[in-house]
Amino acid sequence: MGKLNGKVAVITGATSGMALATARLFVEEGAYVFVTGRRKDKLAEAVRSIGGNVTGVQGDASSLADLDRLYETVKREKGRIDVLFASAGTAEFAPIGEVTEEQFDRTFGLNVRGTLFTVQKALPLFADGGSIIMNGAVGGSKGFPAISVYGASKAALRSFARTWTLDLKARGIRVNVLSPGTIDTPALEGVPKDALDGFVKLIPRGTVGRPEEIATAALFLASNDSSFVTGSELFVDGGMAQI
């Protein structure tokens, strides 16, 4: 029996990388998974790669109308949610003197506003005792050049986990943040080799992480293995933010 046998999970932004690897693992562990993505072709490709026990719902996590449509689909097909991985996010980089209003709005609109309403709109369908996971980042805890807006957006999620744990404690819903370090995903494509080498030097393990290593951590937070874990931030970063 899988660790998520019979569970219903929702994963946003799951057309590639860490979230897609997580969707695959959740299905392997017995869950039925709803995945979202903005691009129809990429979403269809992701659904095909997952195989069975999955429904793809096209949409943007920063759009409240798209979130309503997502949860209407979940309600119609399964009637409840046991696990939510609010993974959709974006990253744009600029030093403080070059940050634009548009960049700020895009980053906070998806990473903070989008995550808040992804969670809020899921609550009427949430089973008591369920698990909410938000996608953080080491940048929310550790300073790097030119990521002030992105880092602040991820730090906000850490605060959400603390307060929502108290808001939802009567329902036994656990809320945690999963914070990856540098992971080998399509987001690294196009990063200059010298820049990537610089990141690797900051990782005590000496290598970047794999999407599957994030997926297994998400499975821990989603399953009963983490029944005594809530309001926390789990770093999966090879030690980057820990020393």
Task: Please report the pLDDT score of residue 198 as a whole number.
Answer: 81
Question: CA distances (Å), 10 to each of 95, 110, 146, in order?
Answer: 34, 17, 32
Task: Please report the pLDDT score of residue 190 as a whole number.
Answer: 67
Task: Please report the pLDDT score of residue 188 as a whole number.
Answer: 76
Q: How distant is the alpha carbon of residue 61 from its chain centre?
A: 11
Out of 150, 160, 164, 235, the active site residue is 150
Q: Which residue has the tokens 């009963």?
A: 224
What residues in the chain have per-residue pLDDT under 50? none
Q: Report the CATH number of the 8-236 domain.
A: 3.40.50.720
Task: Mark whether 150 is an active-site residue.
Answer: yes
15, exposed or middle or buried, with CB in 10 Å at 0-12, 13-18, 19+?
buried
Sequence letter at residue 134: M
pTM here is 0.96
Domain ranges, ordered by start, for the chain: 8-236
Task: Please report the pLDDT score of residue 1 as a whole number.
Answer: 79
Task: Please report the pLDDT score of residue 243 as a whole number.
Answer: 86
